[in-house]
Chains A and B, each alone.
Chain A
Amino acid sequence: MKASSHLGAGVRTMIRILRHCMGYSLAIEAASPLGSWSNAIGAAVDLAVSLAFFQFVFLKGVDSIRGWSWGHLLVLVGSYNIVLQLHSALFGASLGRIPRLIRTGSLDTVLLKPVDSQILVSFHLITPARLVYCLYSVPAVVMGIRHLGLSVEPVRALLYLVTLLCGTVVLYASTLCAQATAFWLGDVYGVSMLAGQGMELARYPLDIFPRAMQLGLLTVFPAAFVAYIPARVLIGDYELVLVGAGLVMAGSWLIISRLAWRAGLRRYVGAGE
């Protein structure tokens, strides 16, 4: 009884702090309307460039890429951008600050707060306004579905949303692990580039890669769960085991990120610049 009320108080504290974080981020966004517009345009251009890449190729007379037609790729690229924007709105800015917190010793102030440090460093710059950018990709996904002449029943739509969330969790956990290497390396430019560029492979259909690489992208470095699996689910070319694998992978990567963060904290000495 006592333990559950203690847990309840912890959750309430967390929700209160997250509410403050959101208010703070909204105030920052409101203070820089030019910046907000630029971010909004940037997100649209990012999606447009990804789609243009494939569109230009298809305009040159290519029918399909390893069985992936223009409609399939609209769904894939749209799904990738939904996950990317979800990640960017919820954790992107916060996770990018981790190396500086560690390097300067400012992580001390995070550790002193009465909430879980991993959650705080992951969400302290949460920008819910940017969740709107996810909507940019929805027309691309809908157009892809129409292009393929498919109809999506509610169960499949629900499974699609579940796999998108799994993809966001995988992206979050892998980014946190990359940023947490700052506990050991100090400078994380290279590791961030490696993780970031590796995740860019999620933009492409898994079928274009050789077997060994496909296996790697489904297990060791699970970029396939970011967009390929959700796209397959929405297109209707899936088995339930894929959705289960997505859930297992998201859970496993959350545990891995937790272990990495705790191992890093044990090394942290707070002797910053």
Chain B
Amino acid sequence: MSSYTYCTVPRRLLTQVSQHLAVVNYHAMAAMHLRVSHLTAILGGMAELVGFVFLWSAVYLSSPALAGYSFQQMVTYYVVAMVLSEGARYETNWELWSDIRDGKLAAVAIRPISTCSYYVARQIGQVILPTSIRVAVAIFLGLSTRQHIFVPYLPTQWMAFAVSVAFAVYLASLLSVARGLAAFWLLDYGPFGWLDHLLVRFFAGGFLPLGLFPPLLRAIANWLPFRFIVYDPIQIYLGHTTVAQALTVVAGQALWVIGTFALVVVLWRRGSRRYTGEGL
């Protein structure tokens, strides 16, 4: 291998990283223009959270613990789920579908960056601001109602949680891209969107911890990748996992990331052969 190749490999890698960061940065800035909208949307998210908290406080009046969750842990579950659901928002599928349908994908494909990773970077850029606001809200809630919010004190727990969240966001983005690529074959993805959103949130544990599911549905959820997006990172946060189990979760996330990445590559290669750029 020549010295030239040694020099160009890191340079190419650096260029790619800076290209992706530029996409993330641009879409984070674009989201800043909608900051009032994001703040109002967070109030909506808070309304949902308030509903869950009062519902569970009523449930816990007749039962001190449910499926191993105390009331404090249940409230914490929903607060962390509120943050994670925003960080792993599933909107790339809609945007990709719209770009394929309208023929706008051609404009993205000519950019000097892989098209699929462009959409992943775009989603990450879009969720930075709303997720940061939700993190701030969660910290505020944690500080103001300390008796209701559980905060882990072990550094290893925080580290494992941070790693699993990073994988969760990336996995959610890849799954979203994979679903959006269905637009190469489906003329109208719209009607599937709501169903898709409901099922993903349900099996991710966004409505209810998977520990409360009956055995059959629990088994189905265990075979799907969605639990790695919300449920499993929260289990690590709450300390419901040992170090070995936390490592198993991260390994599972990594495997699903690899598998979904391969699926995206295959779908992209097959789908882009069908694409004409005509739009509708």
Contact = CB atoms under 8 A, between A and B. Distances in A.
B48 A60 contact: no
A148 interface: no
Contact of A193 (B41, B54, B67, B199): B41
Contact of A194 (B40, B57, B202): B40
Given A56-B214, A193-B45, A66 B191 contact: no
A102 B202 CA distance: 35
Contacts of A272: none
**A interface majority secondary structure:** helix
A66 B66 contact: no
Given A38-B192, A190-B39, A197-B44, A49 B202 contact: yes
A60 B212 contact: yes
Interface stretch (B5-13, B30-38, B94-102, B249-257): B30-38
Contacts, number: 115
B65 to A, nearest CB: 10
A197 B85 CA distance: 15
> Which bracket fits the contact residues of A?
35 or more
A190 to B, nearest CB: 3
A194 B198 contact: no
B45 to A, nearest CB: 7
Contacts of A53: 207-208
A109 interface: no
B195 A204 contact: no
Contacts of A213: 50, 54
A193 B44 contact: yes
B54 A209 contact: yes
A194 B41 contact: yes
A190 B58 contact: no
Contacts of B51: 200-201, 203-204
Contacts of A207: 58
A39 B61 contact: no
Interface of B: 34, 36-41, 43-45, 47-48, 50-51, 54-55, 57-59, 61-63, 66-67, 186-188, 190-192, 194-195, 198-199, 202, 207-208, 212-214, 217
5 contacts: A32-B188, A34-B188, A65-B55, A193-B44, A208-B54
